[in-house]
Chain A
Amino acid sequence: SQKIEQNSEALNIQEGKTATLTCNYTNYSPAYLQWYRQDPGRGPVFLLLIRENEKEKRKERLKVTFDTTLKQSLFHITASQPADSATYLCALGETGTASKLTFGTGTRLQVTL
């Protein structure tokens, strides 16, 4: 069966360091992969999308890599700030009119001073 794995343990990072979150998947051939941020009690907010033919995407302090051979995506936040503390979800998308997404369970990031 399809499976998306994100580190269920919280990631604790000191302010100013780079946070790296991992998303691994099996039995899946996604056309694209997305990363979302979710704050407690709120809906997820889109951050970045990377397609299967792309290796890397950047947006300000964020960087995403996508390795379809390893079936893995890495999500980096450079110069992390306490405001970056949240749960980060990866989602795999398939081609088609419906653009359905399958989400991982998310990794909670805690950035401390």
Chain B
Amino acid sequence: SQTIHQWPATLVQPVGSPLSLECTVEGTSNPNLYWYRQAAGRGLQLLFYSVGIGQISSEVPQNLSASRPQDRQFILSSKKLLLSDSGFYLCAWSVRGVNTEAFFGQGTRLTVV
């Protein structure tokens, strides 16, 4: 069966520090991968998506970047965090080429102080 791992679960980082969140998927190949952010009381905002290794599409301009070094690995990064980067970050995957559901990781609660 397929599983998605996302870590860490919680993170407190000072303003100006770097960020690296990692997500890996098991039990499937060639998945679509996504990074979402959920601010308090708000819906999920799609930040990045990827349909293949090295292929990254950004949905909103921001202080973050994403990379997909391997087929089932998706990384969210920042060189210098801002207070506004605080939020709940979710990684997700879906089967490529078929419009079906997305499977989400457990999320990372990031607090920038």
Contact = CB atoms under 8 A, between A and B. Distances in A.
A102 B44 CA distance: 8
Interface string B2-21: 00001000000000000000
A39 B90 CA distance: 13
Interface string B39-62: 001111110010100000101000
Contacts of B49: 98, 100
Contacts of B105: 43
B104 A43 contact: yes
Given A100-B49, A102-B46, A103-B43, A42 B32 contact: no
Contacts of B57: 98
A21 B51 CA distance: 32
Contacts of A95: 99
Given A32-B99, A98-B32, A98-B51, A45 B43 contact: no
Nearest to A49: B101
A44 B104 CA distance: 6
A112 B59 CA distance: 39
Nearest to B52: A97
B46 A43 contact: no
Interface string A39-53: 001111110010000
A100 B42 CA distance: 18
17 contacts: A32-B99, A34-B102, A41-B107, A43-B6, A43-B90, A43-B107, A91-B44, A91-B102, A97-B96, A98-B32, A98-B49, A99-B100, A99-B102, A100-B34, A100-B46, A103-B36, A104-B43
Closest 6 pairs (CB-CB, A-B): A43-B104, A46-B101, A105-B43, A103-B44, A103-B43, A99-B94
